[in-house]
Chain A
Amino acid sequence: MTLLETEAVTVRFGGVVALHEVCLQVQSGEIFAIVGPNGAGKSTLFNLVSRFLDPDTGDIRFEGRSLLAQPPSAIAGLGIARTFQNIELFDHASVLQNLLIGRHTSRRASLPAQLLFLPSVRREEIAHREAVEQVIDFLELQPYRERMIAGLPYGIRKVVELGRALATGPKLVLLDEPASGLSVEETRDMGFWIRDLRDRMGITVVMVEHDMNLVSAISDRVLALSEGRVVVTGPPELVQSHPEVVSAYLGDAPEAVK
Chain B
Amino acid sequence: MRFRFKEHYDQDIRLFADLADGLRYGSLLLGAVLLPFVLDDFLLGEATSVVIWAIAGMGLMLLTGHAGQVSLGHAAFLALGCYVNAILMNSFGLPFPLAFLLAGVISGLCGVAVAIPALRLHGLYLAIATLALSMLTEDIIVLAEPWTGGVIGLTAPTPEIAGLVIDRYAAPDLFYWLCLGVAVLVTLGYRNLLRSPLGRAFIAIRDSEISAQAAGISLARTKAAAFGLSCMVTGWAGALMGHFFYSFNHEVFTIILSIQLLLMIVIGGLGSIHGAWYGAVIVGLIPQAINLVRDAVGTVAVPGLETSLFSVLIVLFVLYEPHGLHGRLTKWKVWLDLFPFCRRDMFRRQKSYLRTERFR
Contacts and interface: CB of A to CB of B under 8 A. Distances in A.
A234 to B, nearest CB: 29
A92 interface: yes
Nearest to B191: A117
Given A101-B200, A117-B192, A122-B13, A91 B354 contact: no
B219 A90 contact: no
A121 B353 CA distance: 35
A114 B192 contact: yes
Given A71-B218, A92-B203, A114-B196, A150 B352 contact: yes
Given A73-B216, A88-B210, A93-B203, A114 B13 contact: no
B356 A86 contact: yes
B208 A104 contact: no
Interface stretch (A20-28, A59-67, A76-84, A237-245): A76-84
B225 interface: yes
A217 interface: no
B350 interface: yes
Interface residues of A, number: 50
A75 B271 CA distance: 29
A132 to B, nearest CB: 10
Contact of B355 (A76, A88, A101, A128): A88
Interface in A44-82: 50, 52, 71-77, 81-82
Nearest to A150: B349
A87 B354 CA distance: 9
B215 interface: yes
A60 B123 CA distance: 33
A153 B350 CA distance: 8
B213 interface: yes
Contacts of A128: 197
Contacts of A130: 9
Interface core residue of B193, B199, B219, B353 (most chain A CB under 10 Å): B353
Nearest to A102: B215
Q: How large is the interface on B (under 10, 10 to 19, 20 to 34, 35 or more residues)?
A: 35 or more
Nearest to B197: A107
B219 A73 contact: yes
A30 to B, nearest CB: 22
Given A52-B359, A73-B213, A114-B192, A151 B349 contact: yes
B288 interface: no
A115 interface: yes
B298 interface: no
A254 B111 CA distance: 66
B214 interface: yes
B54 interface: no
Nearest to A122: B13
B217 to A, nearest CB: 5
A89 interface: yes
Contacts of B353: 86-87, 154
Given A125-B196, A153-B350, 11 more contacts: A73-B213, A73-B218, A88-B211, A90-B203, A90-B204, A90-B207, A92-B271, A150-B350, A164-B215, A168-B215, A168-B216
Please list the 6 inter-chain residue pairs (A to B) with the smallest Cβ-Cβ separation, ordered nearest first.
A76-B216, A114-B196, A88-B211, A90-B207, A117-B192, A105-B216
Interface of B: 9-10, 12-13, 189, 192-193, 195-201, 203-204, 206-208, 210-219, 225, 271, 349-350, 352-356, 359
